[in-house]
Amino acid sequence: MAAPSGKTDVFQAIADPTRRQLLSMLGEREMPVTVISGHFPMSRTAVSKHLRILADAGLVKERKIGRETRYRLEPEPLLELKRWLAYYERYWDNKLLALQRFVEGDETDGTISLVASEEDGTRSAE
């Protein structure tokens, strides 16, 4: 499960479904490893390794209390994801996209005409 190396990328960190579940679970409340791993079908050690990866990505913070280590969500690194995603917002209100495809459609064999996207039934010139 990834060398315990430092600094994992946030995209990488959230790629795994188990880790996403961990995040949502730790968002609710801070929890020690044993309790956390009780919710998963894998060994405690495996969960522990996932937690390390999340920690390396800064998505989770640990805090020792007596003999147990509690983990909690640290949402800040998700902002990077948010920023990345923000770039693509421009494609959702798809005026730009429609225009772009119109232009591209032009320099081909003509088979493609500008069929607009699903939610824009208005405009399907032919």
Partner DNA sequence: TTGACATGAAACCTTTTGGTTTCATATAAT
Partner DNA sequence: ATTATATGAAACCAAAAGGTTTCATGTCAA
33 binds, among DNA, its own copies, none (CB under 5 to 8 A by kind): DNA
CB of 81 vs DNA, minimal distance in Å: 17
CB of 41 vs its own copies, minimal distance in Å: 14
Closer residue to DNA, CB minimum distance, 26 or 50: 50
Q: Is 64 helix (H, G, I), strand (E, B) or coil?
A: strand
Q: Which residues contact 70 (CB under 8 A, 6 or more apart)?
A: 30, 31, 32, 62, 63, 64
Of 45, 100, 113, 124, the one binding DNA by CB under 7 A: 45
Judged by the rule CB under 8 A, the positions of this chain that interact with its own copies are: 9, 11-12, 14-15, 17, 20, 23-24, 27-30, 35, 38-39, 63, 65-66, 68, 72-73, 75, 78-79, 81-82, 84-85, 87-88, 91-92, 97, 100-101, 104, 108-110, 112, 115, 117, 119-120, 122-123
Please tell me what DSSP assigns to residue 116: P
- Residue 22, Cβ density class (10 Å: 0-12 exposed, 13-18 middle, ≥19 buried): buried
- Residue 13, Cβ density class (10 Å: 0-12 exposed, 13-18 middle, ≥19 buried): buried
| Residue 1 touches DNA, criterion: CB under 7 A | yes
